[in-house]
Amino acid sequence: MNEEFQKYIEMSQAFLAKKERKNYYVAKSISAPYPDYCHNLAELTDEEVRQIRALKEQYGNDFINHLSEVIEDEDAISDMFYGDPVDIDLDDICHQYTFTIREVNGDQVTMIRKVLVELTDEEYIKLLAWHLYDSHLVMNTLFYRDENLCRRIMREVMRYVCDEDAPLISHPFVFTMDEALDDAEKIRQENGINKDSGYLGLFF
C-alpha cells in the first residue's frame, strides 16, 4: 500500500468518524421448515435500543413478545424479522450504504431502485479511499484493485436481483455506488483534493 493510498485511508477514517449514519442490528428469526436462523438488519434508534435492553433484563428471552411496548407499529415489528422472531443482537452495530439498481430494456431505463448494502467500517473506508485514489473508479476496475471488496459489494447487490427461486429482474441492469461517490466528493472538497469527481460505478 503506497503513501498516497494510506493518506486517503486516513482522510476516509476521519470523514466516517463524523458522518451521521443510521444504526442497524441483526434481528434473528426462524421459519419452518428451514432449520437455520434467518438474519435481517433492523433499524433502531438509540432510545429504542435502550428500551429493548430494559425489556431483555425484565423478561429474558421472552422480551421478543413485548416489543410492542417499545415499537407501537406492529407492521414495523413484523418487517424486522423473516419468520418467527427469536432475538435481536444489540451488541453489534451494523451500517448500510445506498446503491442504486437501474434495469435497462433497450435504450430505456425501466426500473430504478435504491438498495442498502451492508459494509463494515473498514470496507466502506477502503471503498472511499479507492474513489479518492482513482477518480474514475468503476466496479470492473475495483475488481482489479480490491477483488475481495468488489465481490463483497456484488454479492450484497445481487440479493436484490435474484432470490432462491427466480431472478427478480428480467432485463440487463447496472448499479451505481451513489453514497460512496457523494461522500468521496465531500472528502475531496474538505481536503482540497484537485481530482476529477469521477464517473458512476457501473456493473453490467
pLDDT in tens, 133-143: 988 888 888 99
Burial of 33 (0-12, 13-18, 19+ CB in 10 A): exposed
pLDDT in tens, 81-109: 888 889 999 999 999 999 988 888 888 88
Residue 146 pLDDT > 50? yes
H-helix or E-strand containing 11?
helix 3-18
Q: What are phi and psi of 30, to 5 degrees?
A: -135, 140
pLDDT over 70 percentage in the chain: 90
H-helix or E-strand containing 92?
strand 84-94
pLDDT of res. 162: 73
CA distance 130 to 108: 31
Burial of 88 (0-12, 13-18, 19+ CB in 10 A): buried
pLDDT in tens, 41-61: 999 999 999 999 999 999 999
Residue 191 pLDDT > 60? yes
Three-state secondary-structure class, residue 174: strand
